[in-house]
Amino acid sequence: MSHLYGFGLMDAEAMVMEAEKWTTVPQQHVCVESTDRQIKTIRPNSAVRSIYKASGCSDNPNHHVNYLEHVVVRITITHPRRGDLAIYLTSPSGTRSQLLANRLFDHSMEGFKNWEFMTIHCWGELAAGDWILEVYDTPSQLRNFKTPGKLKEWSLVLYGTSVQPYSPTNEFPKVERVRYSRVEDPTDDYGTEDYPGPCDPECSEVGCDGPGPDHCSDCLHYYYKLKNNTRICVSSCPSGHYHADKKRCRKCAPNCEACFGSHGDQCLSCKHGYFLNEETSSCVTHCPDGSYQDTKKNLCRKCSENCKTCTESHNCTECRDGLSLQGSRCSIACEDGQYFNGQDCQPCHRFCATCAGAGADGCINCTEGYFMEDGRCVHSCSISYYFDYSSENGYKSCKKCDTSCLTCSGPGFKNCTSCPNGYLLDLGMCQMGAICKDATEESWAEGGFCMLVKKNNLCQRKVLQQLCCKTCTFQG
């Protein structure tokens, strides 16, 4: 039906002739589906999509609607200028109806409160399945964008019958089809008059001209076309296709795994390597700022509202303007020497120049005279640490010695100043003491050879150092 011309030119004589043999249609049923009360924000220059799975009241025989006549949609929307809104409804069979177009002179700020919209474009289709409501906001002039619209709730009222509507001749005309995929074979070329059946389960009661889902004169549910133009009847559209009009399965955009339309902003899920941006219903290789990649479900998940970028919802890596990164969270930017405790700015520990939390363990940088060592501010470096003279952001630190050193003067294994037991210091490196003779009690006894070497400061001599390695490295 045309929005401009209604049903178009009608043949009155044909309608009178039809009335003479008309049979009453089945009893009309009315099914009121449950209300979807999930509130969604309608942002300018974007669309909100809501999906509702209808049953057609299949559990109530007096209200069961299997075949549709018309559909009423009840909608409640708040919006600063409702004339900027356009509303569409897509049936489970893929028929898309425009319920409301943009209206240039509708300046109302009242929105729609339990407003009813109707469509008859779904006549004869099955009622059960996924219905998709789309609300588009296209600003026509300057308005207050600080007050976005909201889809408060919506529901479906389905009108139709529980059984197939009346067919005037009680049988459907058989349709000759031209098949392009089959090789001409006299033994496999069934005509509409010759083939006795049975038809494939996916064929409708119109019939078929041969076995298999590619011989149906009409499909019971849906069909899609192969590259050679062969039409295959199926119970549901295959992956990468969506339910379009007149039972046809059409291809999704190349990146979409499932969709509700052929455009790139009508995806429901994405192929491997792509992520669904739920704000735009598009499949992207990189999620935008304010979201992160959920690799398990191929989705762009929202970061917490304070994050500009993140690796998980509350694990920020960069903050929005006016906020500072405190660990993995974004908080109000406090002055140097303060941190945000969730309510206000508090002073750091006296050792800290900057900090992310309370206490000496919350320091990020240290005050003058203190050095950062493993997340703590210390007055002097511990054993197995060395003082790093290089300045990072104006702050000095103590860094861990190489694992081969007991003490050291710098990074790496060539800056050792003393070694663990069993190792010898040689040119700044600690090496296994294979020739150490300092193993007897006599060597340690007062007046023993090694004690005399140590007392006379002869441990620097390489030969004596190797002979008396234990005594020379003994602190005392």
The separation between CA 431 and the C-alpha centre of its own chain, rounded to angstroms, equals 55
pLDDT at 167: 53
Do 57 and 151 lie in one domain? The reply is yes
Residue 129 covered by a domain: yes
Do 354 and 458 lie in one domain? The reply is no
Do 151 and 95 lie in one domain? The reply is yes
Q: Is the dihedral of CA 386, 388, 392, 393 positive or negative?
A: positive
- Residue from 170, 217, 223, 222 nearest 195 by CA: 217
Residue 51 covered by a domain: yes
Which CATH number is 386's domain given? 2.10.220.10
Q: What are phi and psi of 199, to 5 degrees?
A: -85, 160
Do 148 and 87 lie in one domain? The reply is yes
Residue 412 covered by a domain: no
Residue 132 covered by a domain: yes
Do 373 and 446 lie in one domain? The reply is no
Do 37 and 104 lie in one domain? The reply is yes
Residue 250 covered by a domain: no
What's the pLDDT tens digit per position in 235-284? Answer: 988 888 888 877 889 889 999 999 988 888 889 999 988 999 988 889 99
Which CATH number is 66's domain given? 2.60.120.260
Domain C-terminal end among 383, 400, 417? 400
Domain count within the chain: 4
Q: How many helices (H) and strands (E) does the chain have?
A: 5, 35
Listing DSSP states for 256-318 in one string gives: EEEESSSSTT-EEEE-TT-EEETTTTEEESSPPTTEEEETTTTEEEEPPTTEEEEEETTEEEE
Listing DSSP states for 1-37 in one string gives: -BTTTBT-S--HHHHHHHHHT--PPPPPEEEEPPPB-
The separation between CA 47 and the C-alpha centre of its own chain, rounded to angstroms, equals 17
Strand partners, 250: 242
Do 83 and 146 lie in one domain? The reply is yes
pLDDT in tens, the chain (476 residues): 566 666 678 888 888 888 877 777 888 999 999 999 999 999 888 889 999 999 999 999 899 999 999 999 999 999 989 999 999 999 999 999 999 999 888 888 889 999 999 999 998 899 999 999 999 998 877 676 778 899 999 999 999 999 887 654 444 334 344 333 333 333 344 444 467 778 999 998 888 888 889 989 889 989 988 878 888 999 988 888 888 877 889 889 999 999 988 888 889 999 988 999 988 889 999 998 889 998 888 899 988 888 889 988 888 888 888 787 777 778 777 777 888 777 778 899 888 888 878 888 888 888 888 888 888 888 889 999 999 877 666 778 899 999 889 999 999 999 999 988 878 888 888 887 655 555 454 555 555 777 788 888 887 776 677 677 767 766 45
Do 261 and 360 lie in one domain? The reply is no
Residue 42 covered by a domain: yes
Domain C-terminal end among 161, 181, 212? 161
Tell me whether residue 458 is exposed, middle or buried, using C-beta atoms within 10 angstroms of its C-beta: 0 to 12, 13 to 18, 19 or more.
Answer: middle
Do 296 and 372 lie in one domain? The reply is no
Coil, helix or strand at residue 392: strand
pLDDT at 171: 41
pLDDT at 384: 92
Do 135 and 82 lie in one domain? The reply is yes
C-beta atoms surrounding 396 within 10 Å = 16
Domain C-terminal end among 100, 132, 161? 161
Q: How close are the terminal C-alpha atoms of the chain, in Å?
A: 103
Residue 421, C-beta contacts closer than 8 angstroms, at least 6 positions apart: 470, 473
pLDDT at 179: 39
Do 130 and 65 lie in one domain? The reply is yes
**Structural domain span for residue 379:** 334-400
Instruction: State the Cα–Cα distance between residues 330 and 352, nearest whole angstrom.
Output: 20
Do 366 and 472 lie in one domain? The reply is no
Residue 272 covered by a domain: yes
pLDDT at 433: 62
Residue 74 covered by a domain: yes
Residue identified by tokens 């919006």 is 79
